[in-house]
């Protein structure tokens, strides 16, 4: 019997995978009896609604009329109205969907099929599993159809397939709440682990005082490193990446939207070997320097560093690549250089202004950090207001370019400031500025605000600890994080990169 001729046995007409499967003599994965049990339980016991409302959606149901009934249940529940046979039937009637849902007699039949709602949550999860299977069949069928089409761009097809599978996973898998008891146990275990790592609970940056203040870059945190072009943003994150992959063996992924991968690795080679970037670019090395290069570069060759120089990468592509890098290589930190060069991608990019797009990008980066439970460091440009400011030209949080959402979404906002770049000879405290930089932590959601002075070696585009006379890294001040302070002017500059564009990051050599 044709299922489409019987409304009680029909499946959703939009489910293409069902048609394909039936053409091959197979019925799509489904558990109609479980769907009937869940809906029957919902109609006779409101406690069943609480158990399934955040697990199921109308699309989860195989039978079209079951989806209509559950959609109506959700609407009533959302308005805090009673849910029973009469109210559901009336709502379906008002919406003109009662007949399509099987009529009042079908609602009565559903309610008579169950006597208890005890296992409703389990039934709901099985329904979701079957729905995911049907969606995967749909995606696979679409891939097969387009793969046979010679006009299809294979790389576009790969992106589309990955996006479809990603949407299947994230539209159906819902994270449950956790009890205080479980969370307290998890927190205590984490504190015990931290105590064994000398207070480092996150990914160490390799800069002693920065790690003391942050306890390492924390999982799920979005860190924004902002600066005007030329201050050393790229140099700073490359120095950090070097410390992580070589000294701490932590895999790092760098997404370079501005510079080519070979340029980035050349700068890392300069930092690791002590040979100037200028010599490496020109190849003017003597025999001793060649030996130095070949000897010291070995550690970098074996380092777990992954560089992707895809220009104008979209948020979706970034998320997909990050998920693969974490799954396949155990990447512990992601760096994006830099945020303003990213695109939203897809249909969303066609509407709205650039500020709205940057807001979407920044929220997405925070989402990626939280989903993958790793720190994400995104470089960001500052507005030209810094250059026109009188005095020592220290930037403010309000100088973050194009969107205040960046400041809002970030867990940490840092600035790199080098007075030497502006021909200023000293810092505010009178300390000579030559060969030095300050990393200013201007926002720290879970810690203090501090200025950390670092050594900057321009010839090698390298940052390192600046030791004072007591052989300790120099920290200028540490302040209590509060909203009043965050609204002030305690911020700094940063930047770094090779480019002919005057707005891009050019490290002086």
Give the pLDDT band (50/70/90) at residue 176: low
Q: What is the CATH number of the domain that holds 205?
A: 3.40.50.300
pLDDT tens digit sequence for 447-469:
788 888 888 887 777 788 877 43
Read off the DSSP letter of residue 177. Answer: P
Burial track 181-208 (b if 16+ CB lie within 10 A, e otherwise): eeeeeeeeeeeeeeeeeeebbbbbbbbb
Phi-psi region of 345 (alpha: psi -120 to 50; beta: other; left: phi over 0): left
Task: Find the domain containing 414 and state its range.
Answer: 200-346+354-464
Note if the pTM is more than 0.75.
Answer: no
From residue 264, give the alpha-carbon distance in Å to each of 185, 379, 480: 43, 15, 36
- Tell me, yes or no, whether 134 and 227 share the same domain: no
Are the C-beta atoms of 231 and 386 separated by less than 8 Å? Answer: no
From residue 294, give the alpha-carbon distance in Å to each of 243, 246, 264, 287, 298: 19, 16, 18, 11, 7
Which residues are CB-neighbours of 364 under 8 A, at least 6 positions away?
315, 318, 319
- Tell me, yes or no, whether 308 and 449 share the same domain: yes
Side-chain-side CA neighbours of residue 267 (13 Å): 30
Give the pLDDT band (50/70/90) at residue 25: low
Average pLDDT over residues 166-187: 68
Give the pLDDT band (50/70/90) at residue 376: very high
In a domain, 125, yes or no: yes
Domain-terminating residue out of 116, 150, 171: 171
Residue pointed to by tokens 């890098």: 325
- Tell me, yes or no, whether 285 and 397 share the same domain: yes
The structural domain count of the chain equals 2
- Tell me, yes or no, whether 270 and 324 share the same domain: yes
Which residues are CB-neighbours of 450 under 8 A, at least 6 positions away?
209, 213, 440, 441, 475, 476, 477, 478, 479
In a domain, 275, yes or no: yes
In a domain, 112, yes or no: yes
Read off the DSSP letter of residue 402. Answer: S
Report the C-alpha gap between 128 and 493 in whole angstroms: 50
From the centroid of its chain, how far is CA 332? 13
In a domain, 179, yes or no: no
Side-chain-side CA neighbours of residue 219 (13 Å): 9
pLDDT tens digit sequence for 211-238:
888 888 888 889 989 888 888 888 888 8
């Amino acid at each position: 019997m044709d299922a489409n001729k019987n409304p009680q046995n029909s499946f959703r007409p939009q489910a293409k995978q069902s048609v394909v499967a039936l053409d091959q003599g197979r019925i799509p994965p489904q558990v109609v009896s479980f769907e009937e049990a869940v809906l029957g339980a919902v109609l006779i016991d409101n406690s069943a609604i609480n158990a399934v409302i955040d697990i199921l959606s109308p699309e989860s149901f195989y039978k079209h009329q079951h989806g209509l009934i559950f959609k109506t249940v959700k609407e009533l529940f959302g308005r805090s109205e009673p849910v029973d046979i009469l109210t559901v039937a009336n709502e379906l009637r008002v919406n003109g969907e009662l007949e399509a849902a099987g009529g009042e007699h079908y609602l009565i039949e559903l309610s008579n099929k169950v006597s208890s709602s005890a296992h409703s949550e389990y039934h709901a999860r099985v329904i979701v599993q079957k729905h995911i299977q049907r969606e995967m069949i749909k995606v696979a069928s679409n891939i097969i159809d387009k793969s046979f089409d010679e006009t299809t761009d294979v790389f576009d097809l790969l992106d589309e397939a990955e996006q479809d599978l990603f949407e299947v996973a994230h539209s159906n898998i819902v994270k449950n709440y956790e009890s205080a008891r479980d969370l307290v146990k998890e927190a205590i275990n984490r504190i015990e682990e931290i105590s064994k790592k000398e207070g480092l609970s996150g990914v160490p940056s390799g800069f002693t005082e920065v790690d003391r203040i942050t306890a390492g870059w924390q999982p799920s945190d979005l860190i924004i490193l902002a600066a005007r072009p030329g201050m050393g943003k790229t140099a700073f994150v490359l120095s950090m990446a070097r410390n992580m992959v070589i000294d701490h063996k932590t895999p790092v992924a760098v997404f370079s939207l501005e510079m080519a991968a070979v340029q980035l690795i050349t700068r890392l080679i300069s930092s690791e070997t002590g040979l100037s970037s200028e010599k490496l670019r020109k190849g003017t090395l003597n025999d001793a320097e060649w030996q130095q290069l070949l000897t010291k570069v070995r550690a970098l060759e074996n380092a777990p560093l992954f560089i992707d120089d895809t220009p104008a990468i979209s948020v979706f592509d970034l998320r997909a690549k990050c998920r693969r890098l974490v799954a396949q290589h155990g990447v512990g930190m992601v760096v994006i250089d830099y945020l303003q060069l990213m695109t939203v991608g897809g249909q969303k990019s066609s509407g709205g202004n650039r500020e709205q797009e940057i807001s979407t990008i920044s929220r997405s980066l925070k989402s990626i950090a939280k989903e993958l439970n790793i720190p994400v460091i995104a470089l960001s440009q500052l507005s030209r207001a810094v250059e026109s400011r009188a005095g020592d030209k220290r930037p403010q949080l309000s100088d973050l370019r194009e969107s205040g959402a960046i400041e809002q979404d970030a867990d940490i906002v840092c600035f790199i400031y080098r007075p030497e770049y502006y021909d200023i000879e000293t810092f505010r405290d009178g300390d000579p500025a030559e060969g030095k930089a300050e990393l200013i932590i201007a926002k720290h959601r879970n810690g203090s605000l501090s200025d950390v002075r670092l050594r900057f070696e321009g010839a090698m585009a390298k940052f390192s600890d600046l030791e004072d006379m007591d052989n300790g890294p120099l920290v200028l001040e540490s302040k209590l994080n509060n909203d009043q302070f965050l609204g002030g002017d305690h911020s700094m500059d940063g930047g770094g990169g090779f480019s002919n564009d005057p707005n891009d990051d050019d490290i002086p050599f």
